[in-house]
Amino acid sequence: MELRRGFQSASHETRAAQQNDADGRRFAQEEVMQGAQSENKFEINHLIDELNEYGLPKVFDYRYFQRRFFQQKDYIKKSKKIPKTCIFPGCHRKSIVNSHSLQKEGPLRLVSKDGNVIHPQMQNSTTNVEFEIIGINKASVFSGFCEDHEKIFDVYEKGSQYTSESIVLLQNFRALCREMVNRKIIAEAFSKQKQYYYNDQIEANNKLLQKHSESLKLLRYNDFIIDGFDRLITDNSVIISLLEEFYSEYIKILVGNGGGLSNYYIDSDLVIPISLSGLSVVEFGYKERTIKFIVICSVIPNSKGTQVMLTTLNKWKALLDYYVQRRIWHNLSILSLVESWMMYGSDNWYMNPDTYENIPVLVRERMKRDFTNLSMTPYEEVGYSIFRDIRTGLINATKEHSETLSDADEIKEYNQLLMHETAKQVASSEEA
């Protein structure tokens, strides 16, 4: 589900398309009628009686689409466990299947309890999400790099000295590569499901036609669901092209030829018990326009604080600057940004189990609903508090600091911040 924001899943596309009754009858009105008129063997109304309300053969009911949807999910799940060609440029060796997009001995270990973390997981039997336990050996893994190229991350994986530039480069390169691998798996899944559906329709409609006339045969087929798959495939291809643009810039940097990437590295003394590595569309309105651009984000905690790393292409540098200026200026705003990325940005995050257990049950349920709200992006703030104890401490410290201020504008700014963040605490308390 990786790049979750700005694009819908196949199930969303199918459900929305099925509501369009006029398009749904295209097959009955065009393909079948043409065949019936040319043969003049039977009344078209006889055939329409064997179609459902969407103009499809009755075998294409809710159970059919549910079965195909979960078949697609199962294909994606299994494909992620199969070695691929190493994603590092020029390498043709097989990848290992447990490349970590977040360091195991580092941020994952730090937020774990007895080697386990909490992770959002889509359920196989439903379209819902649950927050479940997963071991850090399996957390954040993907089939990305061969054993040799996995070692390029040793510079900070094993506690070596590194600069902020190198950690942003390597960490967000990992996040990008995970997204590229998973997006290509999704592309294969969409294409396969489209072909399965096409073949099933040809077979079902020919059986239906030949009940009335053996000489009738359907040679081509198209409907609103195939159109929906085409849109999904096209949208996914656009995303893959953008990811490859990021990838090419990373490669230039790795080989020492510069690169067109814009980065932010925020090193806070605030310890947030969450590790995150993902990529999302960020969307906001500006002067009656809708602005969209892609950002890679990693949240890496350590014993002394939390590092937040943001990357975009140079062509979107001004947008990233605007985003950072609007969202990051205080530890409270950093906490808010992390919560936004958890709910609206990425599924690749891992939380301390004790921290999760301290979240009120009703707040957890609201988190599940927000997580599956694909209309939101990490530009938006979460309207309640996930990390209530941390936010409470920050609010109290900020109040104390604001009492020492003398500048009227600065006092006003801090008071607005405190009111805004306190409202989130109140929203969480009401659901506790």
List pLDDT tens digits, range 341-357.
Answer: 999 999 999 999 999 99
C-beta separation of 171 from 277 below 8 A? yes
State residue 124's pLDDT score.
64
Neighbours of 245 (CB within 10 A): 13
What does the alpha-carbon distance between residue 156 and residue 168 come to, in Å, rounded to a whole number?
Answer: 11
State residue 398's pLDDT score.
94
For residue 296, what are the β-bridge partners?
279, 311
Q: Where are the beta strands (DSSP E) in 139-288?
A: 141-142, 261-268, 274-286
- Which residue ranges of the chain lie beneath pLDDT 70? 1-47, 124-127, 155-162, 430-432
What does the alpha-carbon distance between residue 123 and residue 74 come to, in Å, rounded to a whole number?
Answer: 11
- What is the Cα Rg of the chain in Å? 25
Neighbours of 344 (CB within 10 A): 25
The three-class DSSP label of residue 215 is coil
Candidates 90, 97, 18, 27; CA nearest to 55 is: 27
**Any residues with CB less than 8 A from the CB of 156 and at least 6 apart, and which?**
103, 106, 162, 166, 167, 170, 171
Candidates 71, 52, 51; CA nearest to 197 is: 71
For residue 349, what are the β-bridge partners?
276
What does the alpha-carbon distance between residue 338 and residue 272 come to, in Å, rounded to a whole number?
Answer: 9
> What are the residue ranges of helices labelled H in 211-267?
224-254
For residue 117, which amino acid is it?
V
For residue 311, what are the β-bridge partners?
263, 296
Phi, psi of 161 (to 5 degrees): -70, 140
Q: Hey, what are 360's tokens?
A: 């009120």
What distances in angstroms separate CA 58 from CA 64, 196, 390, 396, one per listed residue?
10, 17, 55, 62
CA-CA-CA-CA torsion for 7, 297, 95, 167, nearest 10 degrees?
A: 160
Q: Hey, what are 239's tokens?
A: 């995303």
What does the alpha-carbon distance between residue 382 and residue 227 come to, in Å, rounded to a whole number?
Answer: 34
State residue 417's pLDDT score.
93
- CA 168 vs. chain centroid, Å, equals 20
What does the alpha-carbon distance between residue 135 and residue 114 come to, in Å, rounded to a whole number?
Answer: 9
Residue with tokens 């994606």: 76
Q: Hey, what are 384's tokens?
A: 């309640």
State residue 141's pLDDT score.
93
State residue 159's pLDDT score.
55
Phi, psi of 269 (to 5 degrees): -85, 10
State residue 259's pLDDT score.
83
For residue 224, what are the β-bridge partners?
none
